[in-house]
Structure 1
Amino acid sequence: MTSKRLHDRIEWKQVTNGKNFLHLLVGVGLAVLAMKGFMIPNRFMDGGITGISILLHEVFHINISVLIITLNALFVYLGYRRIGKTFAVQTAIAVVLLSILLVFLPIPKITTDKLLIAIFGGLLIGTGVGLVIRGGGVIDGAEVMAVFTRRRTGFSNSEIILMFNTVIFGIAAFQFGIETAMYSLITYFTATRATNYVVDGIEEFTAMNIISAEDEAIKQLLVNEMGKGITVYEGKRGFLPGSFEVSSDCDIIVTVVTRLEIKQIQDAVLQIDPRAFMFVHSIKEASGGILKEKRHAA
Structure 2
Amino acid sequence: MGTIIGSKRASRLKMASHALAVMIGAFITAYGLEAILIPNNVSDGGVTGLSIVGSQLFGLPLGILIAVLNIPFVILGYYQLGKSFAIYSVIGIASLAYGTSVMHRIPTIIEGDTLLVTVVGGIIIGFGMGIALRNGGALDGIDMLAVLLSRRLPFGTSDLILFLNLFVFIVVSFVFGLQGAFLSGIAYFIASKVIALVEEGLSGSKTFKIITNQPELMVETIRERLGRTATYNQIEGGFSNENFKEITCIINRLEDSKMKEIINEIDKHAFVAVYDVAEVKGGNFTKKDLH
TM-score (ref. length: structure 1): 0.62
Name the CA distance, whole Å, in 1 between partners of 2:95 and 2:174. 32
Aligned to 1:129: 129
Name the CA distance, whole Å, in 1 between partners of 2:186 and 2:149. 26
RMSD (Å), alpha carbons: 2.9
Segments of 5+ residues of structure 1 without an aligned counterpart are 1-11, 208-230, 235-282, 293-298
Aligned to 2:178: 178
Contact 2:42 2:176 in 1 (8 A): no
With over 3 angstroms needed to count, the CA separation of the structure-2 counterparts of 1:197 and 1:66, relative to structure 1, is same
Contact 1:29 1:98 in 2 (8 A): yes
Pairing 1:37–2:32 present? no
Aligned to 1:111: 110
Aligned to 1:260: none
After the TM superposition, which residues 49-128 of structure 1 pair with which residues of structure 2 at under 5 Å, given as runs?
Answer: 49-105=47-103, 106-112=105-111, 113-128=113-128
SS at match of 1:62: coil
Paired letter, 2:79: R
Q: Which moved more, 1:19-28 or 1:130-139?
A: 19-28
Following TM superposition, by how much is the alpha carbon of 1:104 offset from its aligned partner in structure 2, in angstroms?
2.1
SS at match of 1:152: coil
Contact 1:20 1:135 in 2 (8 A): yes
Following TM superposition, by how much is the alpha carbon of 1:20 offset from its aligned partner in structure 2, in angstroms?
0.9
Contact 2:61 2:101 in 1 (8 A): no
Paired letter, 1:122: G
With over 3 angstroms needed to count, the CA separation of the structure-2 counterparts of 1:149 and 1:23, relative to structure 1, is same
Name the CA distance, whole Å, in 1 between partners of 2:160 and 2:12. 30
Name the CA distance, whole Å, in 2 between partners of 1:103 and 1:174. 24
Name the CA distance, whole Å, in 2 between partners of 1:199 and 1:16. 18
Following TM superposition, by how much is the alpha carbon of 1:18 offset from its aligned partner in structure 2, in angstroms?
3.7
Aligned to 1:192: 192
Paired letter, 2:42: F
Paired letter, 2:66: I
SS at match of 1:177: helix
Name the CA distance, whole Å, in 1 between partners of 2:59 and 2:12. 37
Contact 1:15 1:90 in 2 (8 A): no
Contact 1:24 1:94 in 2 (8 A): yes
Q: Which moved more, 1:120-129 or 1:17-26?
A: 17-26
Following TM superposition, by how much is the alpha carbon of 1:37 offset from its aligned partner in structure 2, in angstroms?
0.2
Contact 2:122 2:188 in 1 (8 A): yes
SS at match of 2:155: coil
Following TM superposition, by how much is the alpha carbon of 1:80 offset from its aligned partner in structure 2, in angstroms?
0.6
Contact 1:53 1:68 in 2 (8 A): yes
Paired letter, 1:26: I
Name the CA distance, whole Å, in 2 between partners of 1:163 and 1:116. 26
TM-score (ref. length: structure 2): 0.64
SS at match of 2:70: helix
Q: Larger C-alpha radius of gyration, 1 or 2?
A: 1
Aligned to 1:148: 148
Contact 1:15 1:21 in 2 (8 A): no
Count, aligned residues: 206
